[in-house]
Amino acid sequence: MQAIYGGTFDPIHYGHLNSVTALAEQVSLHQIIIMPNNVPPHRPQPEATSEQRRKMVELAIANNPLFTLDCRELKRATPSWTVDTLEEVRAEKGNQQPLAFIIGQDSLLSLPHWHRWESLLSLCHLLVCQRPGYPLTMETPERQQWLETHRTSSVASLHQQPAGCIFIAPTPLYDISATLIRQRLAAGQPCDDLVPAPVLNFIHQQHLYR
Ligand code: ATP
């Protein structure tokens, strides 16, 4: 099964990479497609340019056959909704193959604010990585009900059905965020245990996050 991993990746870090590597093992994913997003103008802009974010992902996944990079959202002049991108991917792959979208626990909680969020499960499964510091239940009883309705603990279901399940994976907790990394770099603190070395070298070379 293939899974798409969307995010800003400003920068990509071990919280991303280690969580989804553990997830891949737990649910037998054979490919994770990293898809950096184009940030809408009304949101806080990434500090790194699209090109720099792309390059950092490339450096982080070099020689790792589990990962590929899809720049379709970055290349567009305008930001795209996840649901629209998934519809496009579905049109390419057809409706039969299982497809998953990976999010962290924080994104699961905010999912009901995403554009056409209730359509997401008709297009893909949602695979959720644990993240420390976020509640395990949704904000309202209705949303919790939605979660319970779709939630599965069966890995087999993820492979047998093309879409429609939410799997909360028992991934290890990584207390790492891109915000923390940007703050540490701005304060001149080391980030060797948070970001892969080639990415960190690139960050220094480009004078990023100072
Ligand atoms: P920022 O601090 O700038 O908001 P971030 O570290 O949350 O960034 P994003 O690129 O916004 O990183 O995240 C992409 C996806 O990765 C999201 O679904 C997010 O929930 C997930 N994610 C990020 N960090 C972790 C982590 N430490 N553990 C599990 N999931 C994570």
**What's residue 78's pLDDT?**
87
| Pairing mode of beta strands 99-104, 166-168 | unpaired
Q: Which residues contact ligand 1 via a Cβ below 6 A?
A: 7-10, 15-16, 19, 103-104, 106-107, 129, 131, 174, 176-179
**What's residue 57's pLDDT?**
98
Structure-block tokens of residue 132: 């420390």
pLDDT tens-place string over residues 114-124: 999 999 999 99
Positive or negative, the CA dihedral 71, 43, 20, 205 is positive
Name which residue sits closest to atom 27 of ligand 1, judged by CA: 15
**What's residue 79's pLDDT?**
85
**What's residue 41's pLDDT?**
72
Whole-angstrom distance, CA of residue 54 vs CA of residue 132: 26
**What's residue 140's pLDDT?**
96
pLDDT tens-place string over residues 54-112: 999 999 999 999 999 999 999 988 888 999 999 999 999 999 999 999 999 999 999 99
The number of angstroms, rounded, from the C-alpha of 87 to the middle of its chain's C-alpha atoms is: 17
**Residue 7 bridge partners (DSSP):** 36
Q: What residue spans of the chain are helical by DSSP H?
A: 14-27, 50-61, 72-75, 82-93, 105-110, 120-123, 141-150, 155-160, 178-186, 197-205
pTM of the model: 0.97
Whole-angstrom distance, CA of residue 158 vs CA of residue 207: 43
**What's residue 168's pLDDT?**
98
Indicate if the pLDDT at residue 40 is higher than 90.
Answer: no
Q: What is the atom index within ligand 1 of the atom nearest the CA of 130?
A: 29
